[in-house]
A = this chain, B = another copy of it.
Amino acid sequence: MKGLFQYNWQVRDEWFDWCLKQPPEEIEKKRSGGMESILKNLFHIVDVEVSWIYAILDRPDFTPEFSDYPSIQHIIRFSEAYRPEVESVVFHFSSIAEQKPVKASWSEETYTQGDILRHLIAHEIHHIGQMSVWAREMNRVPVSASYVERQQ
């Protein structure tokens, strides 16, 4: 579990660096699929991660608005600010936590903590995959998605 979260955070940070080198209008531009822009996809990745981690931690609902994070710099700070709380769950994950039921206020269903963490892993990789297509459509080289090449 931890390995895939660390992979996602490394890839996310590389996309942040990538975004800092692009014209702001390109990363704000409306595109097909996903959350319809690179900036909105990155905001959504952090929003969803923090929201589910807050549900696991039984904290009050977390409902950030995209309009409060209007630039890549805002989203980088957003991602960094909540990383310690996300790590507190991911790094302490155990076979007991795996089966622990979690009920988020926005969901009718109760899920196990294990299923929620797997959801977050898949969720981020999926939205990053979308961004790799948008990067190619911009004639830019996307960040590498290889997991094994990061383990050397």
**How many subunits of this chain does the assembly comprise?**
2
Nearest CB to that of A109 among chain B residues?
B152
Q: Do B119 and A125 touch (CB < 8 A)?
A: no
Specify which of A118, A119, A129 lies most central, judged by the most chain B CB atoms within 10 Å of its CB: A129
A142: which of B31, B33, B116, B121 is its contact (CB, 8 Å)? B33
A76 interfacial by beta-carbon distance below 8 Å:
no
Q: Known: A115-B147, A118-B147, A130-B130. Is A33-B125 also a contact (CB below 8 A)?
A: no
**A37 to B4, alpha carbons, bound, how many Å?**
27
B115 engages A3 (CB within 8 Å): yes
Let me know if A33 and B152 touch, CB within 8 A.
no
A134 proximal to B (CB < 8 A):
yes
Is B34 in contact with A132, judged by CB distance below 8 angstroms? yes
A33 — which chain B residues lie within 8 A by C-beta? 132-137, 142
| A interface list, Cβ under 8 A from B | 3-4, 7, 31-34, 107, 109, 111-112, 114-116, 118-119, 121-123, 125-130, 132-137, 142, 145-148, 151-152
Q: What 14 additional pairs, Cβ within 8 angstroms, besides A115-B148, A123-B145, A126-B145?
A: A3-B118, A4-B122, A7-B122, A31-B133, A33-B137, A33-B142, A34-B136, A112-B151, A119-B147, A121-B121, A123-B147, A130-B133, A133-B133, A133-B134
